[in-house]
Structure formats: C-alpha cells, structure tokens
Chain A
Amino acid sequence: MSSMPTRGILAYGAYLPYWRLNRASIAEVTGTTAGRGHRSVASFDEDTTTMGVEATRTALAGGAPAPEALWFSTVAPAYLDKTNATAIHAALRFDAAIPAVDFSGAARSAVGALRAALGSPSRTLVVASDLRVGRSGGSEESEGGDAAVAVLVGSADEGPLLAEYLGGAAASAEFTDRWRIPGEAHSRTWEDRFGEQAYGPLVERAWADALRAVGLEAGDVDRAVVTGLHRRATARSAGALGVAGADDLATEVGNTGAAHPTLLLAHLLDSAEADRVVALVVLADGCDVLLFRTTGALGAGRPARTVSAQLGHRADVPYGRYLAWRGLLDAQAPNRPAPSRTSSPAALRRADWKLGFVGSRDTTTGITHLPPSRIGILGGVADDMEEAPMADAVGEIVTVTVDRLAYSPSPPVVFAVVDFEGGGRMPVELADVDPDGVAIGDPVEMTFRRLNSADGIHNYFWKARPVRA
C-alpha cells in the first residue's frame, strides 16, 4: 500500500427509480403491518443492469475520467453465466479494452468490490445495484428498496479525490442467518436474535482493527454509515460505535441490499463538508469497515443529481401494479402477440445504436438520423455520416399518444415524437409518466431501459422520460 499514491473516490452517482410503494398500501391488501413510509420500486422496464447504467451516467456526468475497469455487483442479476457489466460498458460506450466483470450473488460482494477497487492500482468503476423482492406482506418486501450506485475509485494523481480512503478492516464468519438457494426468488432468514448476537463481535473486531490500522480513535470519526440487511444487528452495532450515525433512508427508500452501503455513503457525501472522517460499516456475513476523509474537492465534484433530489422526484405505484411488475401477480396482458426475441447478431451489429444511443449525423446536410442511416434523408451521398451520440441530449415532445392496444409488460404504452435540441427526431416510448400528464412541448431526456424479454433474452434500449431534477 505504501508505494501506491493515495486512493479514494474520484466520482460517484446514485440512481433511485421514480416509483415508490406506500407501505400502507401493502397493509390494505395483506392485512399485515407493513410500517410507515415508502420503499423505492424499479419500474417494470428496469432491472439491476439498467439502474446501474443510470447511476453510472450520473457519476460520470460531471466529466470524470473513464474507468480502466468496470465492476458490477448485484444480488439480482438480469443474467447468470452471461456478464451483466458488459451492457453498462456498452451503454456508456467504454473502450473495448476496459474489462467489465460481475461480482454477483451475495450482498457482501458489493462492498467487497469496493474494497478490492480501493486496493487495486486501476481506476475502477464499482457499480452496485439491487432489486429487493420479498413475499407479499413480509418485511423483506416492505423494508426492501431498489437502487443503484456507481463509485469511481482511483488515485490522487488521476484527478481530485472527493474522499480519500484511509484504510479499513474486515471480519468474516460462516453462519447461516440469511440464505437463498440459486433459482429461488426470495431469501429466508433465521430468528432475528441469532444474527444480532452473531454480528456483534464481528463488528467490534473489524471496527477496532480498522481504527488501529489508520491510527484513529472512535472520537476522530465524524459520521458512521452502518448498514446491513439484518436490521436489529445493524441498529445495535450503530449504537455501540460511539459515532454519530447517518440517515439510513429506511423511511423513504428502504434497504437496497447490495446498493445500500454506497447509496448511504453517496447520500452522506452529497452534503458532507471537507475534511470529515466518514466510516462505512457493512454487516454482511461478517463486517467490512472502510474509513474515508472528505476533501475540499467534494463541494465542486459531487454529482449534480443528488440522492435528495431523487427522493423528491417520485410517484406512488399501486400495490397490485407493483406485484405485476415483479411477476408476483399474474396480470392480464393485452390480447396481442408478445414480442419475439431480439436477434443477437442484429443487436451486436447495432450495439452503438441499441445500447449507446448513437445516431448518425450527415456531414453534408447536418441532419441527425435516429436510428443511424448510411444515406441521409436530404443528402443523397452514401456514407457521409459521422457518429451522433444522443444519450445525453434533451428533447421536446412534438406530439404524443397513449396506446392501450399495443403489447407492453405494463400497459398502456405512452409514446411521443421527440425533437432533440441541436437536431434529431425520434418517435419513442416514454418511461415514468402518468398517461394523462404528458403534453406537447414537455422536455424529456433519455433513459436506458429493458423493453421486454423473450426466450430469456432481455431487450435493452432507450426510452424518453420527463427531465428530472
């Protein structure tokens, strides 16, 4: 470690989906007690990969350098066997030489990836994403949440660090408190009190080792983000550290599993002052403690789209619709043919368009073509096109309709013709809208979504959504 320059966080960005589930609406259906507040809900067209793309876009929007490695961690991967990080890699148009790999399976993989990146010599983008599902009426459902967070880890010589990594420690132990067999949709848990006593000494050990490793006392730590899927153990540990805690977002978001450690860290960094020591304490099959010190670069370097802003940009989804989105309610689809599977060769040929949302601009006429075209609509000269990346373009609705007949995983389809600032037109589906709340002239931005799935192939492409805060 001593030979390496100071490591830390170069950039970060969080993504909270637009939708919330009011916990009271669960209780109305299940007759259980589901608590107060809301949990975040990925829309029907989102998964951990699409949320990972959105978080990464937020993290890199401020001009941070591209990563040298992309690590994606989730408990709810869209694919097994096939890598999911490559879709994020493609959507962000990273160079082919950048390795994109998954850290999937256990919730601890996410903080493990972050720890590994902090200890690695490469500038590494660590994306954690999770989509928490539980049985109806249970605490896994009501207390869970969906989110993704991207953290760009690197060295001080690669750009201003927003937070320096001071060091940390870990403790591991094998005990069966929370588990899920591959293929199962839900996790199971042991009696609460067991985990509480099992985690206690592990947190104490890791916390003491971490402080010793960096030469600090508990009193030197300004804030501790203590999180884990075991609520009782987490609360008890947080209280035992003797350090002020951070907002755990339980009331407004829920516990977002693999994404939660960096989501809470991002939320803290969104408003933290310079030169503060921040501890990240994660309880998952042991304990990971990571210590950071914020820098003067944080004020200018934090993302424009904060967690707080996204907390305020939301709409409630009815419980029945939520269940249908997660495949837990067998909802009637429109009586239309379901889409056929995406052709893998066609998708690969057009990966720049499909995943990167890159059109073509006619160098003769200046007209942007979406999708890309080899011959322009007014030019006539073949192959006089240049790339036109449009993922970050803002557009305006020219005309709009609601299609109550078309196939959709969640009808109706809201669809608009969008003209982009600086040129380019596209008829495109809208995401995260109330069908009655869209009007000609509304500004929209692009968002990476999963249109549908057929034969186990997820069809990723872009939609437009109302411009968010």
Chain B
Amino acid sequence: MASHGIIDRVAIVGMGCTPFGERWGMSLDDLIIDAAQPTLASVGMVADEVDAFWFGTSQSAASGIALATPLRLTGKPVTRVENYCATGSEALRQACYAVASGAYDSAMALGAEKVKDSGYQGLNAFPVPTDGTNRTLTAAAMFSLILPAYAERYGVDEDDLRYAAARIAEKNHANGARNDLAQFRREVSAEEVCEMPPVAGRLSVMDCAGVADGAAAAIVVRAEDAHRYTDRPLYVKALSLVTGDSSGLVDPGFDFTTLPECAAAAAEAYRQAGIADPRADLAMAEVHDCFTVTEMVLMEDLGFCERGTAWQEVLAGTFDLDGDLPVNPDGGLKAFGHPVGASGLRMFYEAWLQLRGDAPADRSIPATDRTRALVHNLGGYPGEMVSFVGIVGREPG
C-alpha cells in the first residue's frame, strides 16, 4: 500500500479560462465552449485530437454527455466528476493519471459551473431525499465557526482576528482589481469590510467568495511530449487528495482551528514533490479562500507559517502580491469568483500565467528563482472536507 505520485510524468501544455462573474447571457454550453476553444487553440489542437476528457461540474449538469454535446465530441471517453468545490482540480487529477498510466497520449480537464440561473444567492444544495436531520446551515456559517474557536485557542482578541480576516479580503481584492477575468475588480479596505453587517457569525458578505458562472480548462500530455505543444510547459509535481470521514463533527478532539484534511493533503503533496520548506520553496500559492478565515487557517495547515501566527503574518503582508509568499495573486475565490466546478482549474490557470511569465505586469509576482507553485482546492466544511493540493513547476527534476 503506497502513494507514489507521478512527479514529472505529465505536463500541462495548454490552458484557458473564461471571465468569471454573473454571466446572465451565457449558458453552461457557452461557458464550456469559451473555455475549451482557447485551450485547444493554445496547443494548436482540435477537440477530436484529444484522446479523453474529464468534465468537472458540481451542480450544473450530470454525465459526460453535458461536455460532449456542446463540444460535439464523437466517439470519445468523457467522464463527469464531482467532489464538492474541489471538483475542478479533481477533473485535472483524473486526466493526469489517465495520461500517466499510458492509457492516453492527451487528455483535457474542463470545469464549468452555471450557478446564476437558480434565482437564489449563494450555492444550492443537492435535493437528495433524506430523513430531514441533516444540517441546512450555509457554508458561510460553518466556516464562521473558525473565528471564535481560533480566538479562544490562541488567546487572540476576536476584533483583532476579525481585522486580520478582513485584511485577507483587502489583499485578494487588490489582486482581483488587476485581473481582467475576475468577478470583482474593485479594491476594498479591511476597515470597510469590518464595518459591514455580519451575515454569518462575524463574517460579512465581503468575507465570502463571489458566486460566479465560469469555466476553465487544461490539456495534459506525457512530459516527454510536452515540447511538441509549447516551449513553456508546466510539469505536474504532485497531486494529492484527502477526503475526510466527517469525524470533526463527531470527535470532541476537533476544535475548528484547523482543517486537518488540508494539512494532510499538503504533507502528501510536499512528499511527492520533494518540498521540505514550502514557505521558501514555492514561488506562489493559489488557495481555497472560500471565506477569509479559511485562507487564514490554510496558511498554517499548508505549512506557510507556524500555528497561531497566520493572523500576524497576514497583517505583516507576508502573503501580499509583493510579499515573501504571494497567495492568490489572481484575486482568489474572493475576487475572481467561485464557479464551483471551474475553480480548481482556474487556480492552475493562475499558476500557468505566473510561472510562465504571462501574468500582466501590474499583478506579476516578484521575479524569483523559485520555480514551483501550489494549488489548494477544498470542498465541504470544517470537520467534513475533501482537500486537494497540487504542485506544478516550470522545470522538470
């Protein structure tokens, strides 16, 4: 029994991403086509030349047919995958393994979500018939449990912690304001965020990710074939997924100050990629900032700083665009928006732009000899969660 990883056996050679936002005029099919076309064009392929497809969508459609139909794929294996908000990265993970196994020469992962047709704010739960005893709390409320628990555990004043969380919104909005594809392109100050009325615990609406429509895609090939498609491929260093057993909701030992599935997924990814000190080794990270407090504790769970210190590191600017380790330089879920099935691939898209030097100058991470980027994508809630961590690098070895 062992997890071996597939370091440097697969490379991403092409990517594409639509603008995220309230795309009232765009259907799911439109979004799929608008993500697939530039992705294929970037590698000079047509859809028929891709051997297999993995389609990630959480709530917008079912089965591979929903991808095959708009793209008019004929005779192809197309699989729909779903893993909550980690659906997009899950699609890429499956595509990478398929190519690494030798089953296919090339594969496309495409994630898409059309959430703004429902008529409701926020995401919508699946109407699975149940005994009626399951929680119906919003994700915002579940993640808001972190703030008082963290304050209690580390003896931090709740107001100070609340300000640090708002500072994360400020950072991500500053980055998103410089991103043509982002849902929210307006800067916001931490003070403004703090003054807003709460919607869940201490969190205001500005502590929550934007709910957006959008799609993103990637094409992966065997690493040895990568240069046939691009002179600047991204090599897949690690793909790690940890699915929790919801024990945090049963076990009194869980204290809501950490996301153990994320810490475990990160440790496994660092092992696969051979990373000893992520803070020093990574050029940047895209993390799942579904809520500001989520990003805060992730800084500790991903090993970017010591436990109990993330809020201070946030205030010190460690994770700013020009900080020691830029986090969410594209604006993150907070400002870029969160079309569930697309978000994981959108995160890779930012790593793709930054590591290849294609990001616009006003939001490029500082020049660095660090060559690897981390992508963290989670689904679920504190105590019951799936967590993905992937690492890509611009150089093999």
Give B141-152 as 1s and 0s: 1 = Cβ < 8 Å from A's Cβ atoms.
110110011001
How would residues 196 to 209 of chain B score, 1 for a CB under 8 Å from any chain A CB and 0 otherwise? 00111100000000
| Distance of A405 Cα from B211 Cα, bound (Å) | 14
> B367 on the interface (CB 8 Å rule)?
no
Residue A78 at the B interface, CB < 8 A? no
**Beyond A417-B145, A461-B132: 6 further Cβ-contacts under 8 Å?**
A336-B121, A336-B122, A339-B132, A350-B133, A403-B138, A419-B252
- Contact across chains for B138 and A417 when beta carbons are under 8 A apart: no
Residues of A close to B74: CB separation below 8 A: none
Residue-by-residue, is B355-389 near A (CB-CB < 8 Å gives 1, otherwise 0)?
00000000000000000000000000001000000
Docked pose: A383 CA to B127 CA in angstroms: 29
Whether a CB of chain B sits under 8 angstroms from the CB of A236 is no
Count contacts between A and B, CB distance < 8 Å. Answer: 117
Question: In the complex, which residues of chain B have a beta carbon less than 8 angstroms from the beta carbon of A326?
Answer: none
18 A–B contacts from the bound complex (CB under 8 Å): A335-B121, A336-B121, A337-B120, A343-B129, A349-B131, A354-B132, A371-B133, A398-B149, A398-B252, A399-B152, A399-B256, A403-B141, A403-B144, A403-B200, A404-B199, A405-B199, A425-B252, A460-B132
| A405 touching B249, Cβ below 8 Å | no
A403-B141, A404-B200, A415-B137 given as contacts; is B250 within 8 A of A451 (CB)? Answer: no
Contact bitstring A408-423, B, C-beta under 8 A = 1, else 0: 0000010101010001
Closest to A402 in B: B201
Residues of A within 8 A of B (CB): 335-337, 339-340, 342-343, 346-347, 349-350, 353-354, 367, 369-371, 373, 377, 398-407, 413, 415, 417, 419, 423-427, 429, 440, 451, 459-461
Contact pick for A339, options B136, B137, B152, CB 8 Å: B136
Task: Output the nearest chain B residue to A401 by Cβ-Cβ distance.
Answer: B201
- Distance, CA A417 to CA B255, complexed state (A): 10
Nearest residue in B to A396 (C-beta to C-beta)? B252
Residues of B within 8 A of A440 (CB): 148, 152
Q: In the complex, A390→B199 CA distance in Å?
A: 32
Q: Which positions 32-79 of chain B face chain A at CB distance < 8 Å?
A: none
Given contacts A340-B127, A425-B250, contact A401 B133 (CB under 8 A): no
Q: Closest B residue to A359 by CB, please name it.
A: B250
Q: Is B4 an interface residue (CB 8 A)?
A: no
Cross-interface CB contact of A401 among B130, B144, B254, cutoff 8 Å: B144
Query: By CB atoms of chain B within 10 A, which of A342, A349, A425, A427 has the most?
Result: A427
- In the complex, the answer to whether A451 meets B141 with C-beta atoms within 8 Å is no
Q: Which residues in window 95-150 of B have CB below 8 A to A?
A: 118, 120-122, 124-125, 127, 129-133, 135-138, 140-142, 144-145, 148-149
Find chain B residues with CB under 8 A from A342 CB.
Answer: 130-132
Q: Contact between A353 and B131 (Cβ–Cβ < 8 Å)?
A: yes
A83–B391 alpha-carbon span in the complex (Å): 59
Residues on B with beta carbons closer than 8 Å to the beta carbon of A377: 245, 247, 250-251
A343 & B199 in contact (Cβ 8 Å cutoff) = no
For A373, give the chain B residue with the smallest CB separation: B250
Considering only CB atoms, which chain B residue lies closest to A459 in the complex? Answer: B132
* A349 proximity list for chain B (CB < 8 A): 131
